[in-house]
Amino acid sequence: MDSTDEPLILRGPTSPDEWDAYFDLRWRILREPWGQPRGSERDSMDDSAFHLFLLDSARKPLACGRLHFNAPDEAQVRFMAVDENARGRGYGRRILEGLEAEAARRGTQKLVLNARDNVTEFYAKHGYGVVGEAETLFGVIRHVRMEKSLS
């Protein structure tokens, strides 16, 4: 349960302004603190991926995430971000559950992700297990590879 009674909207971005706000949240949380330029929060998979964000009643993005498909039976969670002022309210969980539901709807058997060290516990609580090392982003942000079976 969220710790607020505020009505929230969970869906994908639909307008140019919403896409801008979605990508801005990804950049502010996942790239800006490491001095990365705008645009570094995007990649070539964005056009074919499934995107979710959680909006407050003023249409401000609070959390976001993306799902893309590596193979018919494998999907990857990427670009999970929660606004600094909205953490601890279950918003990341809502995004992750929405991405998992879409993966299951499409018949995916396995979800994979590369988790930063500081969020592995979050993913472990949601059934993901560490299966190995992943890249170190920007030379300083260590990641581990995690998986969850949907079958």
pTM for the whole structure: 0.91
CATH of the domain at 51: 3.40.630.30
**Number of domains, the chain:** 1
Task: Tell me if 71 is assigned to some domain.
Answer: yes
pLDDT one-digit tens code per residue, 69-117: 999 999 999 999 999 999 999 999 999 999 999 999 999 999 999 998 8
d(CA 57, CA 63): 13
User: Which has the closest alpha carbon to 147: 126, 94, 137?
Assistant: 126
pLDDT(6) > 90 = no
Higher pLDDT, 139 or 100: 100
Q: Which residue segment(s) compose the domain that 56 sits in? A: 9-112
Residue 5's pLDDT band (cuts 50, 70, 90):
low
Task: Tell me if 136 is assigned to some domain.
Answer: no
Task: Tell me if 150 is assigned to some domain.
Answer: no
